[in-house]
Every structure is written in C-alpha cells, then in structure tokens.
Amino acid sequence: MAVVKNMTYEVIADINDIRKFFSSNIVEFGKLSNSTIFLTDDFLITWLECYSDCVYTLQFIVFYADYKIIGVAPLYIKHDEFFELRFICTGESEEDEVFSEYLDFLVRDGFEGIVVSQFLSYLDATESRWNKMAIDNYLETSFVARYVMPALTGHGYNVVSHCEGFRYFIELPETIDEFYQNKKGSFYSGLKRKRRHLLQTDGVSYSVVMEQQAVVRTLGNIKRLHNERWKNSNVCGAFESDVFFKFHNLLSSRLLNKGRLFLLVVEDNEQVISVIYGFVFKGVLSFYQSGYITTEYKRFSIGSVSHLLAIEIAIDKKIDVYDFMFGSENSYKNKYKCSTEAMFQCEIYQPGLMNSLKRVCDKLLHQV
C-alpha cells in the first residue's frame, strides 16, 4: 500500500445525508468480506425510520485516506440515561427488538490500521458525549473483535466482554443428494420421511413468495402463526410489537425489489400452515423468523420440515450457506449438525478512575 499522506473522518448526523451517501455509490460496501444484510442501506435506513425515538444523535462515521473512502462505522448515541454509543439497528426496548446480528465496521483491505487510528481520534474528540459503548452480537472474526478491541484495550479503555451464544450455520454442497449424504443420522432421516409424508398429503404445497402483494399477506400470516404459537407457551411473540411489525413490512418490501427477501410458505388447501422468513445476501440465506401451526401438524414436525424445504431451495438456487443465526449453547439448532462461531457482547468504558467508578455503578444499577 502506498504511503497515505492525509487521514481523516467525518460524522454524518442526518438520515437524509446517510441516504445520499449510500445512493452516491462511491464505494460498493456490499463487496467487502464482512458485509452482511444487517449492514446494507435497506436495513440501516429502515431501522432509523422506525426506531428514531432511540436515537439521541446519529454518528455514522466515514473514514478517508487521501480523500478516498476506506471505511464506515454505522453508529449512533442512544437516547437514554447512559448515552450509549451503539451500532445502528441495536438498542431497542426488549419487546421491540429487531435483534440485528453481525454488525461491524466496513473497511477496505489494507486500511485497517488507519481506520482504527481515526476511530480512536473520534472517541477522544467525543468523550464528553457518551458514557459507554455497547456492542451486541458480534463475531469473533469481526473487524471489531480483531482490530478495535485490542486497540481500545491498549489505549486504556475498559473492555468488558462475554460470549453471548453462537452463530449456527450449514455450508451447503452443490446438490441436494450430497447434502443428505453429509447429514446422516436419525434426525435427518426422520425429517426426510416426514417431508415425504407431508408433501404426499392431498392439498399440501409450498412456494416462495415473489410478488409485493403476497409479501404483505404473508407477513400477516407469519405474525398470526408466530404469535399464536408463543401465546400457547404464555410468552409474547416478537410480532406483537407494532413498531417491530412496521419495520419488517417496510424492510421486506425493499428487499423483495432487490432479490434479497426469502419467504417460504407451506399451505394445506390454501390454508397457510408454515412460513419461513429470511434474507438472501452474498450467497447466504439467513433464517430470521418463522411461524407455523403446531397442533394439527405436529406429527410432521412442520417447523423442522419447513427448514428442510428452505435448505433444499437454497441448494437449488446455488446459495452457499444456510444461516440459522444466533442461538444459545443448548439451542434446538444443534439438531441440524451446524457449524458454529462464537458471538459476543461487550461494554466499553473510557479510561480513568471516574469511568471505572461509572462502570461499577452501571453494573449495580442493572442488578437492581
């Protein structure tokens, strides 16, 4: 890499300017190795439109080297008593939580050190505006974990992190036959049998939603099925939140137009009995949420069989990875014989005695 003579950053604090930044196509961030669906303009902008009450001030940081963009950090300061510096798409109240994952800095190869250096300068310049930085659901292979955390620790910041759970994913082969050859055992053999019996039932069919009107209808179905299922367990379903449902209505419409939406619908004589909702980006089908009838179709293991159908569709479409995303150590996702990667959560406090005391007080407040 040539010697860089000018290094700087700018902070975009207005959503319209963020829109302009993405529409300018100055840098194709989607091609960067750690780019995910959660870091696309559709996800970030839609979240800001729906969850603006969370935002005290936007801190969308753009990093430059010799006047060329080399990276971004999509952050904001949360509007609460702690004034947390956070990634956009995190920090909602629990009942409204989108639970975005794999959030990270997007940085061009070879410029990691410059971005970290400029981020440290940003933190120094804004230390009076935030009390702590909170990062949720990041991977151990992320830019944040590999570059930002070591630099912060080395500069005296107090970094408190712990493993929150795991990413569960399956690397897909080229053919469905090869997939089943690799996934031997009673679980998959049982699912294959139940899949066959389900699809042999008169009136049962499945399809992938491709039209805008069907998207709206299908989201209504997944909301109903998901909430009914959890209501039977005396737990509130995710789609009971109005802002959460609004977010996904807007997001799914935008993703459909770009070929990034995945909605699998299983029907029995035109009655929707199962829906798989996910995102397709850079060869990865990310399973986000599902809804299905558990009573009449229990003998078919309708939820698990729906995943199997989604995996088969993904293989047919030459998708590389079926990503179950986050799960705890004892998650049901273990049954699918997934590969795993640890996911972390951390809180970062500014250097100095006073900030160490703030950390202790913060911890005590959360325990009350």
- Which pLDDT tens digits describe the chain residue by residue (368 residues)? 567 889 999 999 999 999 999 988 655 777 888 899 999 999 999 999 999 999 999 999 999 999 999 999 999 999 887 899 999 999 999 899 999 999 999 999 999 999 999 999 999 999 999 999 999 999 999 999 999 999 999 999 999 999 999 999 999 999 999 999 999 899 999 999 999 999 999 999 999 999 999 999 999 999 999 888 777 666 677 788 999 999 999 999 999 999 999 999 999 999 999 999 999 999 999 999 999 998 889 899 999 999 999 999 999 999 999 999 999 999 999 999 999 999 999 999 999 744 555 555 555 555 55
Residues 99 and 117 in one domain: yes
Q: Does residue 291 belong to any structural domain of this protein?
A: yes
Q: Are residues 65 and 142 in the same domain?
A: yes
Q: Could you give the C-alpha distances from 12 to 17, 21, 55, 177, in angstroms and in order?
A: 7, 9, 13, 49
In whole angstroms, what is the distance from residue 359 CA to residue 366 CA?
11
Query: Whole-prediction pTM value?
Result: 0.91
Residue 319 dihedral angles phi and psi, to the nearest 5°: -80, 140
At 127, phi and psi to the nearest 5? -60, -25
Sign of the torsion angle spanned by Cα atoms 9, 161, 93, 322:
positive
Q: Is residue 336 part of a domain?
A: no
Write the CA distances from 201 to 195, 209, 311, integer angstroms: 10, 22, 21
How many other CB atoms sit within 10 Å of the CB of residue 151? Answer: 16
Q: Do 274 and 225 share a domain, yes or no?
A: yes
Angle in degrees, 0-180, between the axes of helices 41-50 and 242-257, rounded to the nearest 10? 150
136 is in which domain, residue-wise? Answer: 7-165+343-367
Whether 161 and 214 map to the same domain: the answer is no
- Closest-CA residue to 104 (of 58, 135, 64, 68): 135
Domain assignment present for residue 325? The answer is no
- If one counts the domains in the chain, the total is 2
Determine the Cα–Cα distance for residues 158 and 105; give it in Å rounded to an integer. 20
Based on the fold, state whether residues 21 and 50 are members of the same structural domain.
Answer: yes
Q: For the chain, how far is it from start to end, CA to CA, in angstroms?
A: 52
Instruction: Kindly state whether residues 92 and 205 are assigned to the same domain.
Output: no
